[in-house]
């Protein structure tokens, strides 16, 4: 029963959806504060390489080292995001160009490759990696076992993060302020909210999440470092935020939906079904365009939750 194709596909959806979920949650937080960061791919790759480095080099027991690795990945992603924040918040640079520059700077062929090479990380198996840890009996449970219990700790952490981000944005004073900054920075400023501080903080936190998303690849899914490991997951994460109408809960659904498409061709091919992998791989992108078109229909944009001030710098003197 656990070999049924639907179960296998759903299990791989959760596995492959998790890095997307982390990165998209991060981008969601950033965008809710009104900052568009197209550098997700770069931040993920730097997170992946630094997380892997930490796990290879830090001595100690497995679980602690892995936690440290995730921490280092978050730190590295946050640092990359800090560059973007400085450029777009303080220096008021174009957010699109700055984000793309971040991907060129940090992504494949940039800093992540440089670090991977310089720290000698390629072609080495991971010293520690995230494994499924729940009791074997649970993991063998029919249907829910492979999908929900045969997963790594990062999957459960991502669920907690979804809940926390949802509560933070929807139920706390700080979260309300974030949304005000993203919707109308001038009004937020008049309320006495420090727009600059909020934008910095949420851009950096967004980068940290992207870094963890990258580490999900290098420490759990393909536990090794390969140049360009994330293979465009960062761009899917950006699409996912739109797909999820800027809501954390829908991010989870969307991430698993898109995750299913990245795993599906392999699953089908393993069963002798010949498919065109490109068709499945193109679906997330095409569906994002379709959703975007629907969202952009008159008036719907606001209702569906796109922050009104997304992508625009805030200059107090020019409001």
Partner 1 sequence: MIRIERRLVQPRWLGVAVPVGSIVFAFAAMTLVLLATHHPPLHTFGRLLSAGFGSRDSLDATFISATPLLFTGLCAAVAFRMGLFNIGGEGQLYAGAILGAGVALMASGASTIVQIPLMIVAGAAGGAAFALIPGILRAFLKTNEIIVSLMLNYVGALVLNYLIFDSLSYWRDTSTPDAKVFPQGKLLPDAATWPVTHIAGFALPFGLLLAVVIAGAVWVLYTRTRFGFEVQVIGDSPRAASYAGMRTRRKMLAVMALSGGIAGVGGASQDGDFRHLLDARGLSQAGYGYAGIVIAALARYNPFAVVLVAVLLGGLQNAGYTLQSVDFPSGLVGVMQGLILFSALGGELLIRYRLRLPRRGARETTAGAAA
> Which residues make up the interface to partner 1 (CB under 8 A)?
38, 83, 87, 91-94, 96-98, 100-118, 232, 235, 238-239, 242, 276-278, 281-282, 285-286, 288-289, 292-293, 296-298, 317-318
- Nearest distance from C-beta of residue 223 to partner 1, angstroms: 22
- Nearest distance from C-beta of residue 283 to partner 1, angstroms: 10
| CB closer to partner 1, 163 vs 289 | 289
| CB closer to partner 1, 4 vs 282 | 282
Determine the 3-state secondary structure of 132 from DSSP: strand
What are 286-294's contacts with CB under 8 Å, separation 24+?
287/243, 288/239, 288/240, 288/242, 288/243, 291/242, 291/243, 292/242
- Nearest distance from C-beta of residue 293 to partner 1, angstroms: 5
| CB closer to partner 1, 144 vs 292 | 292
| CB closer to partner 1, 136 vs 269 | 269
The pair of structure tokens assigned to 227 is 């140049």
Find out whether 230 and 41 touch, Cβ atoms under 8 Å: yes
| CB closer to partner 1, 105 vs 156 | 105
Find out whether 165 and 25 touch, Cβ atoms under 8 Å: yes
- Nearest distance from C-beta of residue 304 to partner 1, angstroms: 13
| CB closer to partner 1, 91 vs 187 | 91
CA 43 vs. chain centroid, Å, equals: 9
CB-based contacts of 72, cutoff 8 Å, min separation 6: 50, 51, 53, 54
CB-based contacts of 89, cutoff 8 Å, min separation 6: 35, 196, 199, 200, 203, 313
CA 113 vs. chain centroid, Å, equals: 20
- Nearest distance from C-beta of residue 2 to partner 1, angstroms: 30
- Nearest distance from C-beta of residue 113 to partner 1, angstroms: 3
């Amino acid at each position: 029963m656990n070999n049924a194709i639907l179960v296998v596909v759903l299990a791989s959806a959760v596995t492959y959806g998790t890095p997307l979920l982390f990165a998209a949650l991060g981008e969601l937080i950033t965008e809710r504060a009104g900052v568009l960061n197209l550098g997700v791919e770069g931040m993920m790759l730097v997170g992946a390489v630094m997380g892997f480095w930490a796990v290879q080099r830090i001595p100690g027991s497995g679980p602690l080292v892995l936690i440290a690795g995730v921490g280092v990945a978050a730190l590295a992603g946050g640092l990359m995001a800090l560059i973007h924040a400085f450029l777009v918040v303080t220096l008021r640079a174009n957010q699109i160009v700055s984000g793309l520059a971040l991907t060129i700077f940090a992504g494949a062929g940039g800093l992540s490759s440089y670090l991977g090479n310089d720290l000698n990380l390629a072609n080495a198996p991971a010293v520690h990696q995230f494994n499924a840890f729940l009791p074997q009996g649970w993991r063998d449970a029919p249907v829910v076992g492979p999908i929900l219990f045969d997963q790594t700790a990062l999957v459960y952490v991502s669920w907690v993060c979804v809940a926390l981000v949802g509560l933070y944005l929807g139920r706390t004073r700080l979260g309300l302020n974030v949304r005000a900054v993203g919707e109308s920075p001038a009004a937020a400023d008049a309320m006495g909210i420090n727009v600059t501080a909020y934008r910095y903080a949420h851009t950096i936190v967004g980068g940290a999440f992207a870094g963890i998303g990258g580490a999900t690849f290098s420490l759990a899914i393909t536990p090794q470092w390969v140049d360009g490991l994330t293979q465009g997951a960062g761009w899917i994460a950006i699409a996912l935020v739109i797909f999820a109408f800027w809501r954390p809960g829908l991010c989870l659904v969307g991430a698993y939906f898109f995750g299913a498409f990245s795993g599906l061709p392999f699953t089908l091919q393993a069963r002798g079904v010949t498919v065109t992998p490109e068709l499945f791989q193109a679906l997330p992108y095409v569906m994002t365009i379709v959703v975007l078109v629907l969202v952009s229909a008159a008036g719907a944009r606001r209702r569906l939750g796109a922050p009104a001030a997304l992508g625009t710098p805030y200059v107090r003197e020019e409001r």
